[in-house]
Homo-oligomer: A and B are copies of this chain.
Amino acid sequence: MNIITSNKGKYHEYKKIFPDAKMLNIGYHEIQADSLEEVVEHALEGLKEHAPLIIDDSGLFIDVYHGFPGVYSSYVMHTLGCQGIIKLMDGFDNRDAAFECVIGHIDINGDSKLIRGRVSGSITKTMKGTHGFGYDPIFKPEGHDKTFAEMVTDEKNKISHRGKAMEGLMRYLDITL
C-alpha cells in the first residue's frame, strides 16, 4: 500500500493498519472545491499508476461561516492561525464546528473508494493544550471537556475525524488489528 503524503505522522498512523505501507511523497494538485470529497476524488484521478494507494484530506468546518475554512484549512492555518479563528468567532454564541476527514483509496484493480470521518464540536475562546497540530488547540469535541490538543494521540484518535475514517477504511478492507 502506498501512502501518498509528505506528512510522516500521517504515514506512521497508516503503517499501524498496513505494516508494509510505503510513504510516497509525490506532489499532486489539490483543486479549489466545495468539499473534501471533490478534492480527494480529483487527486485520485492523477495517481492511479501508484495503486494500491491511500490519500486523505481533512478540514475544519465552522457553522456560522458556512463551513470556512473547510477544504482550505491548511492554507488558513498558515495565514490566520488559531488566533485568527478565535478573532473571527468573537461575538458569536454559536461556536459549533466539525472536523472532517476523507480518505481516498484505490485498490490493485484500480477501483476507487472514498471514506469519510466526522467529529462535531465547538471552537474554544482561547488556545488550550500542546499536543497535536493545526486547529487542535481550539477544537473541543462534543461530549468532552478537553480540546484535541489536551489529549494524547491515542485518546484523540479514538474520537477524531481521521480515526473514524480509518475505522471505516478497515471495515471496507475487512482488516482487523
Partner of A76, one of B68, B71, B87, B91: B68
A16 at the interface (CB under 8 A from B): no
Residues of A31-88 contacting chain B, CB below 8 A: 31-32, 42, 65-72, 75-76, 78-80, 84, 87-88
Contact A84 B72, CB 8 Å, known A30-B31, A31-B32: no
Q: Indicate how many identical chains form the complex.
A: 2
* Shortest distance between the CB of A125 and any CB in chain B (Å): 15
* Shortest distance between the CB of A30 and any CB in chain B (Å): 4
A144 at the interface (CB under 8 A from B): no
Q: Please, which residues of chain B bring their CB within 8 A of the CB of A79?
A: 65-70
Q: Give chain A's interface residues, CB within 8 Å of chain B.
A: 29-32, 42, 65-72, 75-76, 78-80, 84, 87-88, 90-91
